[in-house]
Amino acid sequence: MRGINAKNGIEESFVDADQHKPANSIVIQAGYSAPYLYLLDEDIQRRLTKVKTYSQKKLTAVSRAIFDGHGQGRRDDFRPWIRIRRNFSSPVSNQVFESVGIHKRNHHFLSYLEYHTALQIAYLGAEELRECLPMWPYPHPHPDQEFDNDSQRPPDTICGLMEIAKNAGIDHGCFVGTKVPYIGTIDMLAAVKSGDTRHLVGVSCKPAEIILQSERAKERIELDRRYCQAIGAHHFLENGTGFNQMLLQQLIWLRPLTSEIRSHGGSTRLQEFSAAFEAFAAERPICDAALAAGRVCQMDRSEAFLNWRLGIWLHLIDIDLTRRIQMTKPIRRGRNGVLAKLRTRYLGGNHV
């Protein structure tokens, strides 16, 4: 067995109990970065004579992170509990520090699975997305408490994850070598508007390989589910099965800046452009229709195609993003079918 890799801080001695396969190999093959090695941590502890323990210095760092606001805040000001840092990097890991058009800040996605999930939820119409949200061990304010300081409604308090784990018959766990409860997190919590209803959606992004290799991974997913139940959120386990790769490629291509959405999203100008484009697209190729709609709205080429991207992203233009967009050919419709499948996947059941 080997010890700590000085280059990236990864514990390389982790070995799975059932398959005797290095846990870091499982995670790397799934496209995950270093923090996910510790998903299997508690399984591995039972089989190692020497375990990595948390020093007082490391526990002080945890306290400092809480004091500094990590895992707290709302909307643009949220700070995830786990952030992408240099010592999490690896030549074979996939980390993504990107915006998905919801907030001004970039998100810390620890895998492409998380990033691709967030892209689809953003396109679906998410108003807020918090990645790596702590499920605090002790009673704490409801994670969807009112953000407005002028609100007169007192924040709801929910039980901590320790109580949820106890009721589930699952060991909550502590920082290794201590009696301090660890800080459990859910990969993302999103607020999605569907019709006139605002839905909370908690997502556990875990590749099937990790789930199969670790009983602790299954327990943590169950804790995620029960935590979502406690806060009134729909829970979904995302392993990437069934992702439409063409949809993902085109969402990455079309994804607007948050500033573009906020400055143009509700404008009459965008509405007029989208309506004109829809009319021209009935008989012209996509590129010609966009340019013609731009002329009608007195837009130059750059502004016309910006509004075209925004119109698609905000569902004002009917186009099937699961089929390759060919600008010199007629548009292919099917927006509502794509959105319906995403709503069913992430909101649970059929939603208008």
Measure the CA–CA gap between 333 and 317, rounded to whole angstroms: 9
The predicted structure's pLDDT at residue 180: 84
Domain ranges of the chain: 23-238, 245-348
Look at the block and give the residue holding tokens 């994670």: 143
The CATH number given to 23-238 is 3.40.1350.10
Query: Torsion angle of alpha carbons 286, 260, 322, 241, nearest 10°?
Result: 170
Query: What confidence tens digit (pLDDT) does each residue in 119-145 have?
Result: 999 999 999 999 999 999 999 999 988
Residue with tokens 């005797």: 20
First to last CA, the chain: 54
Question: Poorest-confidence range of 11-15, 26-30, 334-338?
Answer: 11-15
Burial class of residue 28, CB neighbours in 10 A (0-12, 13-18, 19+) = buried
What is the share, in percent, of the chain residues with pLDDT greater than 70?
78
Checking if the pLDDT of 116 tops 70, the result is yes
Strands 197-205 and 184-194: antiparallel
Mean pLDDT of all residues in 44-56: 53
| Per-residue model confidence (pLDDT) at position 196 | 80
Q: Is 150 a residue whose pLDDT tops 50?
A: no
The 8 Å CB, 24+ separation contacts for 168-177 are 168/222, 168/223, 168/226, 170/219, 170/222, 170/223, 171/42, 171/219, 172/137, 173/42, 175/54, 175/58, 175/59, 175/62, 176/41, 176/45, 176/51, 176/52, 176/53, 176/54, 177/51, 177/52, 177/53, 177/54
pLDDT score of 33 more than 90: no
Q: In whole numbers, what is the pLDDT of the chain averaged over residues?
A: 82
Q: What is the pLDDT of residue 88?
A: 53
Residue burial 181-208, b: 16+ Cβ < 10 Å; e: rest? bbbbbbbbbbbbeeeeeebbbbbbbbbe
Amino acid at 216: R
User: pLDDT band for position 46 (50/70/90)?
Assistant: very low
Quick one: pLDDT at residue 295?
A: 97
List 141's β-bridge partners, or say none. 157
- What is the C-alpha separation between 117 and 103, in angstroms, rounded? 16
pLDDT of residue 85: 67
188-228 residue pLDDT tens: 999 998 778 889 999 999 888 888 878 888 999 999 999 99
Q: What is the pLDDT of residue 54?
A: 60
Residue/partner pairs of 280-285 with CB below 8 Å, 24 or more apart: 281/317, 281/330, 281/331, 284/330, 285/327, 285/328, 285/329, 285/330
Q: Which pTM does this prediction carry?
A: 0.82
29 versus 339: the higher-pLDDT residue is 339
> How do residues 338-348 score in pLDDT, each as one tens digit?
999 999 999 98
Task: Read off the pLDDT of residues 288-309 as tens digits, 9 standing for 90 and up.
Answer: 999 999 999 999 999 999 999 9
**Helical H runs in 267-330?**
268-280, 286-296, 301-313
AA identity, residue 168: A
Taking the C-alpha atoms of residue 224 and residue 184, their distance in angstroms, rounded to an integer, is: 9
Distance from C-alpha of 223 to C-alpha of 135, rounded to nearest angstrom: 9
Q: In sequence order, what are the beta bridge partners of 129?
A: 190
- Residue 237 pLDDT more than 90? yes
Separation CA 31–CA 20 (nearest Å): 20
Q: What is the pLDDT at residue 30?
A: 47
Count CB neighbours of 241 within 10 A. Answer: 7
Measured between alpha carbons, how far is 99 from 172 in angstroms, rounded to an integer?
A: 32
Pair of tokens at residue 203: 């997502």
| pLDDT, average across residues 170-198 | 87
At 78-87, the pLDDT tens digits run 999 888 765 5
Write out pLDDT tens, residues 252-290: 999 999 999 999 998 999 999 999 999 999 999 999 999
DSSP state of 183: -
Cα–Cα distance measured from residue 14 to residue 17, given in angstroms and rounded to the nearest whole number: 9
**How does DSSP assign 88-109, residue by residue?**
G--TT---EEE--SSSSSPEEE
pLDDT of the residue at 332: 97
